[in-house]
Structure 1
Amino acid sequence: MSTALAEAGAHVVCADLSAEAASAVASAIPKSDAIQLDVTDPMAVTEAADAVAGRLGRIDVWCNLAGIAGTSQRVSDITDEAFERIFNVHFRGTLHGCRAALGVMRPRGRGAIVNMSSEAIDIHPATVGSYAVSKAAIGMLTRVLAAEVGTHGIRVNAVAPSFVPSELSLGHHTDEAERESYLQWWRRKSPLGDLCAADDIAAQIVYLASSASQFVTGQTLRTNGGISMPW
């Protein structure tokens, strides 16, 4: 996603809980910087936004992409601590990012915020309640915020991808045959018969960040291969 935005002409600032991870991505991208950031710390997020805007002069696009894997537990079994961990990163991290972005975008009267939701908001999967609830909350935050800041020239949208193969999502599938069976299960769910890739999400983010979507706000784009087709 960082690469796609850079290729579209953006000066990208890669933020990650791991400074090394942020630097690794930024080092492969022209016109980029890297910062260490814990999105659950509202003060740190605001300070990061102010620092970037001070150094670069403005922030045109802010993407709230931080996420962690959900717990495979039913609602009746999940602890408050486990739920709060998921909710803090996904929802509160997104909320902190939106507030920080607005602080630097509103004075200029323009900007685009892109949030990361999930296919989980539509398919109500058992055992991932904490993950799905946090992602659904992001969807509503996106809509409410879009209604509030449209008059300031700021657009707020979200992307809701389906399952994406990665070390994060497949870490608990250690057996190769079992892993492939799981991937095939996801392929069969899509009318297109394929899996979502990071490049698919990146294309949607570039679209929402660009003038091509200048009259699009409060929307959740479902990059899911047709796994769900809500109105």
Structure 2
Amino acid sequence: MSVNVIVTGAGSGIGRATATAFAQQGARVLIADLNAEAAKAVADSLDGAVAVVGDLSDPEVAERVARTAAEEFGGLDVLVNNAGVMDTMALAGDVTDAEWERVIRINLTAPFLVTRAALPYLLERGKGAIVNVASEAGLRGSAAGAAYTASKHGLVGLTRSLAVSYRDRGIRTNAVAPGGVATGIMTGLSFDERGLAVLGPFHASVGRVAAPEEIAAAIVFLASDAASNVNGVILPVDGGWSAI
């Protein structure tokens, strides 16, 4: 796979598994992450990978990520918007301004900014793929709190808008919607008791928790030529949770 790829949030979890999967197929990968140590460790473990560290919700950082990939690799073929944070499961009436702003900024504004920065380079190639990591919470209202749910529904909408807007210029945009995945996204969170009491019963049908590599495999497929006629799709990778 001789392609140039950006993976955001690639220092751990789904992002790290995705960057590794692309690299194993011969892709050159830019590792974008807020955690400098994690980003460097992943980049050092992959042949030809480079790391860019910073807050992706900062337009200057988003521009630097896209520009670095184009300069280091000679162009850009694939963007994977994976970086994200979980909320505390707080309901709309209980969400603080700080939590709402943080979750929307990281989960929705950052993917928009990175996409906007990357589009000129993707369009220059005349062919490319964007894959967004949404969530089961982007398909239903019972998988997370108000902030996370709104952010992932927003990312689904952005995915579909991009798919329609750029399909005639060679850019496909799809998203995966994972269910439960064994990552560290919930590490250190203190969950809202009222939110857990209301939403907890809906989680009984979550099913098996997936490995990050299972989500990565779906992302690599959507970015590949094997999915050349797949555009605007929100693909559940949730063990059947969305079918219930």
**CA deviation string 1:66-92 (max 9, x = no partner):** 111212211001122210110000000
Summarize the alignment of residues 140-159 of structure 1 with structure 2, pairs less than 5 Å apart. 140-159=157-176
Q: 2:209 aligns with which of 191, 195, 198?
A: 195
Question: Residue 165 of structure 1: CA displacement?
Answer: 2.3
User: What RMSD over aligned residues (CA atoms) do the two structures have, in Å?
Assistant: 1.9
Asked if 1:217 is matched to 2:231, the reply is yes
Q: What does residue 205 of structure 1 align with?
A: 219
More off after superposition, 132-141 vs 78-87: 78-87
Question: Is the alpha carbon distance of 1:58 and 1:224 closer, same or farther for their aligned partners in structure 2, counting shifts above 3 Å?
Answer: same
Aligned length in residues: 216
| Structure 1 Cα separation of the partners of residues 188 and 180 of structure 2 | 13
Aligned residue for 1:125, secondary structure, equals coil
Amino acid at match of 1:28: S
| Structure 2 Cα separation of the partners of residues 155 and 13 of structure 1 | 20
Question: Residue 122 of structure 1: CA displacement?
Answer: 2.6
- The answer as to whether partners of 1:74 and 1:126 remain within 8 angstroms in 2 is no
Amino acid at match of 1:15: A
**CA deviation string 1:34-91 (max 9, x = no partner):** 1112110112211221122022111111111111121221100112221011000000
Identity percentage of aligned residues: 39
Q: What does residue 14 of structure 1 align with?
A: 31
Summarize the alignment of residues 1-231 of structure 1 with structure 2, pairs less than 5 Å apart. 1-125=18-142, 128-169=145-186, 171=188, 189=205, 193-229=207-243
| Structure 2 Cα separation of the partners of residues 156 and 94 of structure 1 | 12
| Structure 2 Cα separation of the partners of residues 48 and 194 of structure 1 | 35
| Structure 2 Cα separation of the partners of residues 126 and 189 of structure 1 | 11
| TM, length-normalised to structure 1 | 0.87
The unaligned stretches of length 5 or more in structure 1 are 174-184
Question: Residue 123 of structure 1: CA displacement?
Answer: 3.4
**CA deviation string 1:10-38 (max 9, x = no partner):** 11111101121101111211221111121
Q: Which runs of 4+ in 1 moved over 3 A?
A: 170-173
| Structure 1 Cα separation of the partners of residues 49 and 144 of structure 2 | 39
**CA deviation string 1:132-161 (max 9, x = no partner):** 110010001000111001111011111110
| TM, length-normalised to structure 2 | 0.83
| Structure 1 Cα separation of the partners of residues 97 and 148 of structure 2 | 13
The unaligned stretches of length 5 or more in structure 2 are 1-17, 191-201
| Structure 2 Cα separation of the partners of residues 158 and 215 of structure 1 | 14
Q: What does residue 199 of structure 2 align with?
A: none
Amino acid at match of 2:156: G
Question: Residue 206 of structure 1: CA displacement?
Answer: 0.6
**CA deviation string 1:155-195 (max 9, x = no partner):** 1111110011233335459xxxxxxxxxxx96x625xx522
Amino acid at match of 1:97: V
Question: Is the alpha carbon distance of 1:89 and 1:149 closer, same or farther for their aligned partners in structure 2, counting shifts above 3 Å?
Answer: same
Question: Is the alpha carbon distance of 1:223 and 1:128 closer, same or farther for their aligned partners in structure 2, counting shifts above 3 Å?
Answer: same
Aligned residue for 1:63, secondary structure, equals strand
